[in-house]
Amino acid sequence: MLLKKLRCMFLAIAVVQVGVHFQRMDSSGDISNACELLAGEHRLEALRPECKAFLHKQIHRLDASQPGFKRWQQSVCVGSFVCNAFTSWRREEVLHWHRALGLSPAFDSTDWDVQPAEERDSSPSRPVASVPDNTSSSRCSAEPLGSEDPLARRCLGDAADAYDDLADVRVVAVVFTGRGSRMRALLPYLRRDLRAHQGILDRIIFALIRPDSLALTLVEQMQSLYAHIPSCIEIRDYTEASWSDFRQDSPANSHHRIPMLYKSLNETNTVYVKVDDDIVFLARHAIAELVREKLRRRCMFVSANVVNHAILSAVHQEDGAHRGFEPGHLDADTGKQSSSSAWIRVADVNMDASYVFERHPMGSCVFKRWDCAALVHESFLDRERDGTLCAFDFGWFDFHRAGFREHQYVHFSPWSGQTWHASGARWSINLFALEASDLLGVDWSRVHGPGDDEEEFGGNHAERTGGHACAVGRSLAVHFSYAPQQERLLSQTDLLHRYVELARTGSAAEFFLS
């Protein structure tokens, strides 16, 4: 009883700390009364629909720097203890409210996880058993142990970050530019991360490799939008047409264009972030987390936590981040999936023996099967909707933890027509941070085009220098497709459209290029 009174005294102190001017008039220890008093004229039951609507819009995952936060802060929802418990932005605030309420981040007697009918792009799924309400009538009572599902953790969301520690660090993104359909999803996130918008990117370099017409249009739009900021947007031409001298010893030979691209990244005191054009999602602070890890000097190269990645897909699988999905509506005549339908969620975790991701740079589930990629993408989008993307966060990962020759494979360079036996981690370089000094000692004679750089950086160069490459779990990104996945992902699913829609309506919506 004494502990109960102390707990409720702490609750009363919390009320004062947030500046809510209602006073607790009873000493019953029933938190519902306190909630009603905090709501003023609005009773708690009347507040819940408003709070639910607010949470379902996922505003609870925005940081306090968003303009919408200040408007919402003055609304009736902020007066509710229940809402405050799930809409604080700093971790210490979240824990403070949860302790005051006797809640864990993933459990409350209010059914917050009911999806509204109008939820965008909802994946159909089988019914999920409800969690029994083990709380007593008093909300001050302790929560039973073990109520939080480790595979459905409620993530704390994006905390505000002013990047003060990176204020004097020059950061440049280098986009290997080709496919405009993917770049429609990518560019809003890169725009959001520019210093012009309180991000950390000083410049974006568009390295033209095989740009289609839409890609060129988007790059021109970017150049026009930031014409008033010197050097914010730069375009460099590395197309085969511009490197067409067929003499082997000519600097303009097409075999030299990718080495020259990397060699041009030669500014000191600069962290470069190489970005593939088919990165279709980039979490807030993802680039900042890459840069921070690079500056810790533990790793030669630092990769993002990439979804649909030759090595990291196996890590995500082992951590239970992938959910069980199967193709949805099948055409009665062809037996093929309708390209307009999402896959159906059939399990909380993927344990289907037909979808096994090998931890290997040439694993068949990644490089030979589009349906493995579809399952990964459906899992990501499903978790994005319900706020559990932190399931993908493995913390920190060393690609060379087993040494420099843990994998054996055959590398084929379509640019040179050469094939050779190789060994090493061969981690996919879809999104990674580097500095000019990291490229000292690279054997450029083996780098003829895209793909060769990955082979050299992940294997031979790493072994020669002893430099490890690592990945950072908080730097979450999504890679759309490898070449063998591409055709059927586009013809059999609407996943690319859904990623573009996420960019258009999500946290980077204001930066979407129409």
Q: Cβ of 427: how many Cβ atoms within 10 Å?
A: 27
Q: If 0-12 CB within 10 Å is exposed, 13-18 middle and 19+ buried, where does residue 37 land?
A: middle
CA 348 – CA 128 distance, rounded (Å)? 9
pLDDT in tens, 365-408: 988 899 999 999 999 999 999 999 999 999 999 999 887 777 78
Residues 329 and 431 in one domain: yes
CA 57 – CA 35 distance, rounded (Å)? 23
Whose CA is closest to 171, among 34, 348, 294? 294
Residues 49 and 168 in one domain: no
272 in any annotated domain? yes
Residues 296 and 388 in one domain: yes
Bin 489: left if φ > 0, else alpha if -120 < ψ < 50, else beta: alpha
123 — phi, psi (to 5°)? -80, 130
Residues 190 and 55 in one domain: no
DSSP class of residue 64 equals T
Look-up of token digits 């349906």: 371
| Predicted local confidence at residue 336, as pLDDT | 58
DSSP-assigned states of every residue in 451-512 = THHHHIIIIIHHHHHT--EEEEEEEEEEE---HHHHHHHHHH--HHHHHHHHHHHSTTGGG-
| Predicted local confidence at residue 332, as pLDDT | 56
CA 204 – CA 272 distance, rounded (Å)? 10
Helices (H), 110-230: 180-192, 213-225
| Predicted local confidence at residue 8, as pLDDT | 44
Name the maximum alpha-carbon separation found in the chain: 89
Q: Which of 51, 86, 101 is the last residue of a domain?
A: 101
453 — phi, psi (to 5°)? -65, -40
pTM of structure: 0.71
| Predicted local confidence at residue 454, as pLDDT | 86
Look-up of token digits 């021109």: 220
DSSP class of residue 336 equals P
User: Structural domain of residue 70, as residue ranges?
Assistant: 2-101
Structure tokens belonging to residue 84:
């405050």
pLDDT in tens, 9-18: 434 434 333 3
112 in any annotated domain? no
451 in any annotated domain? yes
Q: Which of 84, 101, 118 is the last residue of a domain?
A: 101
CA 412 – CA 187 distance, rounded (Å)? 31
Q: Which of 69, 101, 133 is the last residue of a domain?
A: 101
Helices (H), 160-256: 180-192, 213-225
288 in any annotated domain? yes
Check which CATH number belongs to the domain holding 322 and give it.
3.90.550
Residues 196 and 87 in one domain: no
Residues 358 and 472 in one domain: yes
Residue 71 neighbours by CB under 8 Å, 6+ apart: none
CA 323 – CA 311 distance, rounded (Å)? 18
Residue 239 neighbours by CB under 8 Å, 6+ apart: 208, 209, 210, 211
Determine which helix (DSSP H) or strand (DSSP E) holds 49, and give its type and residue range: helix 44-56
Residues of the chain with pLDDT under 70: 1-146, 245-255, 329-340, 415
CA 130 – CA 310 distance, rounded (Å)? 36
Half-sphere exposure of 283 (CA within 13 A, CB side): 29
Strands (E), 238-286: 270-276, 279-282
CA 236 – CA 264 distance, rounded (Å)? 10
135 in any annotated domain? no
| Predicted local confidence at residue 266, as pLDDT | 97
Residues 11 and 82 in one domain: yes
Look-up of token digits 């460099």: 236
Helices 44-56 and 31-38 cross at an angle (nearest 10°) of 80
| Predicted local confidence at residue 146, as pLDDT | 57
426 in any annotated domain? yes
134 in any annotated domain? no
| Predicted local confidence at residue 489, as pLDDT | 95
Whose CA is closest to 506, among 381, 350, 331, 321? 381
Residues 170 and 96 in one domain: no
Question: How big is the chain by its Cα radius of gyration, in Å?
Answer: 25
Number of structural domains the chain divides into:
2
453 in any annotated domain? yes
Q: Are 509 and 392 in contact (CB under 8 A)?
A: no
Structure tokens belonging to residue 450:
């895209």
CA 187 – CA 507 distance, rounded (Å)? 13
Bin 276: left if φ > 0, else alpha if -120 < ψ < 50, else beta: beta
